[in-house]
Amino acid sequence: MPNGSPPRPIKIGLAGLGNVGAGVFKNIQKNAALIQQRTGADLQIVQVAVRDLGKPRDVEVPAEMLTTDWRDLVNNPELQIIVELIGGTGQAFELVSAALKARKIVVTGNKALLAEHGKELFALAEQCGMPIYFESAVAGGIPIIQALQEGLVGNHIQSIHGIINGTCNYILTRMSQAGLTYEAALQEAQEKGFAEADPYLDVSGWDAAHKAIILASLSYGFWIPQADVYVEGIDKVSATDIEFARRLGYTIKLLSVIRADAQGRVEVRTQPSMVPNSHVLASVSGSFNAVVVQGDIVGETLFYGRGAGQDPTSSSVISDLCDAAAILIYGFRHTGFVPHGLYGKSKPIDETVSHYYLRLLVKDEPGVLAQVATVLGQRNIGISSVMQPEDLASETGTIPLFLMIHDASLGQMRAAVEAISGLGCVTEAPSWMRVETLG
């Protein structure tokens, strides 16, 4: 116990008793003595808001602690901290706003809420003098938020590359390692509990994009408008793309990329990308997450672990609760987000530059490559390599054509792909994706 003094009771209200909420309730009790010894705080959840009082749950909560109205938590003068785990952006926004105005510290794991309303919520937090903690909003049990706020605070963040959605990583891993189709891999992910019955938020890329907005905003000191973020899902990745990437020494991952250019303009994007097998991110498999941060002083740092699940995510919530308790016991710190003026503009997504992979299904006839090369050349796009593997040829008179493209802007590439789609020799919509050049 710090200074040999008895632990100080910290009263907590918990909104939401789903998978993560149940984990928080269970694990605070499980490791109560450890937390008291390390922090001097006796974390006590004394009131819990749920939608349905009769719903079966993994943890037993005394009936007198339960309420169906989150306002009871806000209006309870005994509570010092409110944990928001109800999800969504409607009631959650009302709850967090009301808690801050009631001068209660907020802990949340709600990535969508922060991505959409972070700017106004942190302005309110500053106005009320109450902090918001949100470690569990990104990458589950990986302490990436604390690393950016504290461990790397003396660095200009040059780039962040992250695999931050476990569902998509599981699906792409099974497609790559077991040869499953996208549909079969998605079904398996749902059966194992890695994907929801409605997997849209994950497979569309938006779950990862919300997390990327939070990481980018912390790194560059301004809240990235959601409209400035490029998002593409994994549903169009085919077995052919997986196989060709393998032949070239790449693995396809849903990758979130965050970086600033020389003018301080920040790009934030999430999309399927080819990652070199020589880079550590290519070996991140199953439902695991990994984030690589490049700082100007520290260089490259890697954060790896389980990005979702009851215990990893509840671990991050409990970490936030311990930080909040430290404020109550020892004194005040910043409100969770510190704006600064070194950056401040999003980079137009069409100006972002990378290598590309382009797969075409074309008629097996002379002159096809010349037509495609002409379209690319007219837009100042160079070809680094071409493959037309005979073992993938069709008996219908068509053959796949694979091209690796030199650095080009997304705007150039979009225009070129649209023009190539209109060529008479191209028989179906092109498949293309970024090829990331990682150290």
Per residue in 85-138, pLDDT (tens digit) is 999 999 999 999 999 999 999 999 999 999 999 999 999 999 999 999 999 999
Residue 354: name the closest of 271, 436, 240 by CA.
436
Measured at the CA of 7, the angle between CA 104 and CA 63, to 5 degrees, comes to 60
Instruction: Return d(Cα 250, Cα 245) in angstroms, integer.
Output: 5
Instruction: Return d(Cα 59, Cα 55) in angstroms, integer.
Output: 11
Of 2-6, 209-213, 399-403, 407-411, the least confident: 2-6
Residue 439, pLDDT above cutoff 70: no
Question: What does the block give as tokens for 255?
Answer: 């990758």
Which comes out higher in pLDDT, residue 333 or 70? 70
Question: What does the block give as tokens for 134?
Answer: 């949100």
Residue 194, pLDDT above cutoff 90: no
Instruction: Return d(Cα 31, Cα 161) in angstroms, integer.
Output: 33
Instruction: Return d(Cα 205, Cα 212) in angstroms, integer.
Output: 10
Residue 316, pLDDT above cutoff 60: yes
Residue 404: name the closest of 342, 371, 369, 359 by CA.
359
Delimit the CATH 3.30.360.10 region(s) of the chain. Answer: 144-307
Residue 356, pLDDT above cutoff 90: yes
Q: Which residue has the tokens 């962040």?
A: 160
Any catalytic annotation for residue 11? no
Residue 6: name the closest of 36, 32, 45, 46 by CA.
36
Return the sign of the alpha-carbon dihedral for residues 204, 210, 211, 216.
Answer: positive
Q: For the domain bounded by 2-140+311-330, which CATH number is listed?
A: 3.40.50.720
Instruction: Return d(Cα 185, Cα 44) in angstroms, integer.
Output: 41
Residue 309, pLDDT above cutoff 90: no
Delimit the CATH 3.40.50.720 region(s) of the chain. Answer: 2-140+311-330
Instruction: Return d(Cα 84, Cα 111) in angstroms, integer.
Output: 11
Average pLDDT of the chain is: 92
Q: For the domain bounded by 350-435, which CATH number is listed?
A: 3.30.70.260
Instruction: Return d(Cα 273, Cα 254) in angstroms, integer.
Output: 6
Question: What does the block give as tokens for 191?
Answer: 């059966």
Tell me what pLDDT residue 4 has. 63
Mean pLDDT over 148-159 rounds to 92
Mean pLDDT over 372-397 rounds to 84
Which comes out higher in pLDDT, residue 139 or 339? 139
Mean pLDDT over 224-236 rounds to 94
Mean pLDDT over 11-29 rounds to 94
Measured at the CA of 375, the angle between CA 419 and CA 421, to 5 degrees, comes to 30
Helices 19-30 and 32-39: crossing angle, nearest 10°? 70
Contact 162, 436 (CB under 8 A): no
Q: Give the CA dihedral 297, 298, 302, 303, nearest 10 degrees.
A: -90
Q: Looking at 11, 211, 253, 347, which residue is catalytic?
A: 211
Q: Which residues contact 407 (CB under 8 A, 6 or more apart)?
A: 353, 354, 355
Delimit the CATH 3.30.70.260 region(s) of the chain. Answer: 350-435
Q: Which CATH class is domain 144-307?
A: alpha beta
Res. 389 pLDDT band, cuts 50 70 90: confident
- Counting beta carbons within 10 angstroms of the beta carbon of residue 95, is it exposed (0 to 12), middle (13 to 18) or buried (19 or more)? buried
Beta-sheet pairing, 353-363 with 383-387: unpaired
Q: What is the pLDDT of residues 126-140, one digit of tens each?
A: 999 999 999 999 988
Residue 45: name the closest of 71, 58, 64 by CA.
64
Cα Rg for the chain, rounded, in angstroms? 24
Q: What is the SS3 assignment for the chain? A: CHHHCCCEEEEEEEECCCHHHHHHHHHHHHCHHHHHHHHCEEEEEEEEECCCCCCCCCCCCCHHHEECCCHHHHCCCCCCEEEECCCCCCHHHHHHHHHHHCCCEEEECCHHHHHHHHHHHHHHHHHHCCCEECHHHCCCCCCHHHHHHHHCCCCCEEEEEEECCHHHHHHHHHHHHHCCCHHHHHHHHHHCCCCCCCCHHHHCCHHHHHHHHHHHHHHHCCCCCHHHCEECCCCCCCHHHHHHHHHHCEEEEEEEEEEECCCCEEEEEEEEEEEECCCHHHHCCCCEEEEEEEECCCEEEEEEEECCCHHHHHHHHHHHHHHHHHHHHHCCCCCCCCCCCCCCEECCHHHCEEEEEEEEEEECCCCHHHHHHHHHHHCCCCEEEEECCHHHCCCCCEEEEEEEEEEEEHHHHHHHHHHHHCCCCECCCCEEEEECCCC
